[in-house]
A and B are shown apart, each in its own frame.
Chain A
């Protein structure tokens, strides 16, 4: 247990260095959320006449939604690094060394959190540059970052756990894409809750993606609902903890399969 923190730091350093050494990957990471933002922003510009979108521009409504969707898509890929490590033999070397399993999981989560924060800030900056104004200010943005990182931890861990179970790129990609799009569209990421059919509203109530979106959007608004935000962040934190713990247990399944 005493190795958890130092090993997490060393392994997170490895991920971050590897990320910075791949400029193409850095560019894709930065540009991809902007495409979402500008594409959806243009496509649904007229949607604000529908009820539930508030007084601001659609861009202001959309920005937190795109932040959370981007987080979901990026963290869904998290397990690919595990599969690369398996193919390369890095995983087996780690598992026959004293490397802490918890740290292997935690460092992946920390790294996903790191890219999440960068991507989120880029989206906020570009939205502001495009004319969006967030009344919630810096505090609102910080709350959104917390919500985004918690969702990234939950979904990244899930992706890692599935990677340890299926050990195959195609299966992980299938799993991740099958989950990310429905989870996004069953939330208020790009459309207001009031404009959704009733059954989707019910599903969204239990969807952690919607918790993150709703908490972020509320925090960025002029009049944040701090109780609602608190509950949603707490719920997200619990989901993240449970999924990280479960994913760490998936190392046992991996041991059995090799």
Chain B
């Protein structure tokens, strides 16, 4: 079976900034595929190219069996797009937004109205259907955005950061909805996110994006199992010297020791066995420990291993900048 989305060596520059630097992805039909990376990694630019909003400087892209560069009109009929920005008319009601989207996708008036009502019911927006979108809460507006992308039963759906800015309850609801789409309706979903748990929860396959290219791709489990062993995070006391603590951990047999503020992160073969020895070594050398945790590898560890930065750190650096 052909891939639902296939991008090959996409390059896109904006002036001196290289947003995509040879990005390649291959998304099998009927799956949820996650593009994971911090803001500025090139995920949104990749979505813009694949949804025919912009053209790459080089590379090829096929979406739902159509060449995105040569046949953009055919691609536009086959995709639903939900971007980070709303995309709904604030002066129109929820129902009017959906009906208009349906008409522009070629549905008849009757089809568009019944589809709009079905989607409003499915997303729990029936009561708000006649209210203008300006009055919607953030979570309601986000649901309407996703509903807008589904009006014409697209075989391929793009969700660019679908849960950014949502509270935990709304996020969980959105996750359930996305999972249902792929499972029950066979929709191929390409999801971009900088939330690790989101990719871990939803995506059957994940591509980790860094500086405009895919640095690793596979199932979340396969990516994590490439990292052998466990992660130990040691919280230091206020008077401790991180450099000294680092060398103590190294001498005690821990690998890949990195520092993040007052915490050290290290890799060991078996966490449960290693922790007593590490604690003893730290105490012997006069390093006070405020906390110690052991974790199975996360996608964050995968990201750190591949890019030399933690995803959380990269996102925070982005915010600080």
- The smallest C-beta distance from A93 to any residue of chain B, in angstroms, reads 4
Asked if B100 and A10 make an inter-chain contact with CB atoms under 8 angstroms apart, the answer reads yes
A18 to B92, alpha carbons, bound, how many Å?
A: 6
Q: For the side of the interface on B, what is the size category? A: 20 to 34
**Residue pair B104, A92 in contact (C-beta under 8 Å):** no
A7 at the interface (CB under 8 A from B): yes
Question: How many positions in chain A have a CB within 8 Å of any CB in the partner chain?
Answer: 26
- Residue contact B96 to A93, C-beta cutoff 8 Å: no
CB distance from B88 to the nearest CB of A (A): 7
Of B51-59, B199-207, B252-260, B307-315, the one contacting chain A is B51-59
The contact of B87 among A22, A93, A99, by CB within 8 Å, is A93
Is the CB–CB distance between B76 and A97 below 8 Å?
yes
With contacts A89-B83, A255-B55, A256-B55 known, is A18 near B104, CB below 8 A? Answer: no
CB-based contact A96/B73 at 8 Å: no
Per-position binary interface string of chain B over residues 84-110, scored 1 when its CB falls under 8 Å from any chain A CB and 0 otherwise: 111111111000100011011110000
In the complex, the answer to whether A88 meets B86 with C-beta atoms within 8 Å is: yes
Contact B77 A258 (CB under 8 A): no
CB under 8 Å from chain B, chain A span 1-38: 3, 6-7, 10-11, 13-14, 17-18, 21-22
Residue contact A93 to B132, C-beta cutoff 8 Å: no
CB contacts under 8 Å to A, within B35-83, are: 48, 51-55, 73, 76-77, 79, 81, 83
A93 touches B83 (CB 8 A): yes
> Is the CB of B148 closer than 8 A to any CB of chain A?
yes
A131, CB-defined interface residue at 8 Å: no
Q: Which residues of A contact B54 (CB under 8 A)?
A: 255-256, 258
With A and B bound together, what is the CA distance between A62 and B81 in angstroms? 51
Determine whether the beta carbon of A97 is less than 8 Å from that of B105.
yes
Q: Is the interface of B mostly helix, strand, loop or mixed?
A: loop
A18 close to B91 (CB less than 8 A)? yes
Assess whether A90 is interfacial by the CB under 8 Å rule: yes
- Asked whether A96 and B86 contact (CB < 8 A) given A6-B103, A255-B53, A255-B55, the answer is no
Q: A10-B103, A96-B81 are in contact. Are A89 and B87 (CB under 8 A)?
A: yes
Q: Does A95 contact B (CB under 8 A)?
A: yes
Contacts of A93 in B (CB 8 A): 81, 83, 87, 148
Contacts of A46 in B (CB 8 A): none
Flag whether A94 is at the interface (Cβ < 8 A): yes
Q: Tell whether A7 pairs with B87 under 8 Å between CB atoms, given A21-B132, A96-B53.
A: no
Complex interface residues of chain A between 98 and 127 (CB less than 8 A to chain B) = 98-99
Interface string of A25-67 (1 = CB under 8 A from B): 0000000000000000000000000000000000000000000
- When the two chains form their complex, are residues A89 and B85 in contact, meaning their CB atoms are under 8 A apart? yes
Interface string of A61-95 (1 = CB under 8 A from B): 00000000000000000000000000111101111
Residue pair A88, B91 in contact (C-beta under 8 Å): no
Sample 27 A-B pairs with CB under 8 A, ordered by A number. Answer: A6-B103, A7-B103, A10-B100, A10-B104, A11-B100, A14-B89, A14-B96, A18-B89, A21-B91, A89-B83, A90-B87, A90-B88, A92-B53, A92-B81, A92-B83, A92-B85, A92-B87, A93-B81, A95-B52, A95-B53, A96-B76, A96-B81, A97-B105, A98-B76, A255-B55, A258-B48, A258-B54
